[in-house]
Amino acid sequence: MGDMKVKMRISERQGNKLLISLKEIIKPSELNYILKNLWKFRWHYIMILPGIVLLFLFAYMPIMGVQIAFKEYDLTAGIWKSPWVGLKNFYFLQDPYFWHTVKNTLAITIYRLMFGFPIPIIFALLLNEVRNEKFKKVIQTVSYLPHFVSWIVVAYILTSMLALDTGVVNFILEKLGFSQIFFLGEPKYFRAIVVISAIWKEMGWSSIIYLAALANINPELYEAALIDGAGRFARIRYITIPGIMPTVGIILILSMPGLLSAGYEQIYPLVNPANMSVSEVLDVYIIRLGLVSAQYSISAAIGLILGIVQMLLVLTVNFLIKKSGGVGLW
């Protein structure tokens, strides 16, 4: 009984210390302010609650599965009971084929960043200069539609248009006196097809955020520039572009993880034995290892390394943009 009383006193003291430390961190006035805001915006929080739950379930809960990168994962034993093997699954870092897939991935994603990143900005700037509202809305609607088309459908359209003998593109080439080209079978054309199709599909949708940024620019700046005699290109250069640069910087930071992800859903439907030398990217490689070869531990190890590198890319670009005077994520 004496020992029990001593333990109870110790636990009470620890609880009191915890309460004191919490009070030091969160003052009563601040706590009241937080509770009032929680109640005031309760319906807002209720609306975003499903999104938070889904984010927790599909983004944070799976983090526990990262441990299989350091285990010899066995389906029958499960994640927790599979034996630990340390860094054995990271042997892929010495595999030339892995680095070949990295090279293919970077070739596609760098081209996509070089050409696909500025085009939505240019498109938004052009739309912003259109004065006919009806024409502007038609162009916006038409440009948004491809975003809602599945990559499987896009792949089928590309395959049909670029097919030998029956494809529209080869039919036109033949009528113009040129020989037909097996576009999806020629490695030199594959990357261009992937990049162009990605730009076509996402250009309009990606421009929405830039159009929103353009709408937030103070109209009085344009009026003052007109009074000073500034032309259209001068207004774009000195008002419009600087006005959307914070948004451009943030989108650039958020696009950095994409440098190591060419997009499985886009690439895989276009893969065939003829273009395998350039179409085998990291996304396809990981899916083949995990789902086809059932090498779950190695797939998890590759995913872990990619996640770390992507995080470092975001941190580095965020630091560089803030160092240059721009606006970062934090």
Looking at the DSSP assignment, which residues form a beta bridge with residue 71? 84
Which residue matches tokens 């590198």? 309
DSSP track, 80-133: HHSPB-TTGGGGGGG-HHHHHHHHHHHHHHHHIIIIITHHHHHHHHHHHT---H
Per-residue confidence (pLDDT) for residue 2, from 0 to 100: 47
Per-residue confidence (pLDDT) for residue 16, from 0 to 100: 52
Report yes or no on 88 lying in a domain.
yes
Locate 35 and state its tokens. 């509770």
Locate 256 and state its tokens. 């950095």
124 and 211 in contact (C-beta within 8 Å)? yes
Locate 263 and state its tokens. 């997009």
- Which of the residues in the chain have pLDDT under 70? 1-29
Looking at the DSSP assignment, which residues form a beta bridge with residue 84? 71
Amino acid at site 29: S
Per-residue confidence (pLDDT) for residue 13, from 0 to 100: 54
* Calpha distance 160→123 (Å, rounded): 28
Question: The CATH number of the domain where 270 resides is what?
Answer: 1.10.3720.10
Residues in the chain: 330
**CB < 8 Å & 24+ apart, contacts of 184-192:** 184/158, 184/159, 184/270, 184/272, 184/274, 184/275, 185/272, 185/274, 185/275, 186/274, 186/275, 187/274, 187/275, 187/277, 187/278, 190/270, 190/275, 190/278, 190/279, 191/107, 191/108, 191/111, 191/278
Report yes or no on 199 lying in a domain.
yes
* Calpha distance 220→226 (Å, rounded): 10
Residues 134-167: tens digit of each pLDDT: 898 899 889 999 999 999 999 999 999 988 888 8
Report yes or no on 45 lying in a domain.
no
84 φ, ψ (degrees, to nearest 5):
-75, 140
Report yes or no on 26 lying in a domain.
no
Report yes or no on 156 lying in a domain.
yes
Per-residue confidence (pLDDT) for residue 5, from 0 to 100: 46
Report yes or no on 210 lying in a domain.
yes
Tell me the pTM. 0.79
Domain range for residue 238?
74-323
Quote the number of domains for the chain: 1
Give the gyration radius of the chain's Cα atoms: 27
Report yes or no on 115 lying in a domain.
yes
Per-residue confidence (pLDDT) for residue 210, from 0 to 100: 92
Report yes or no on 237 lying in a domain.
yes
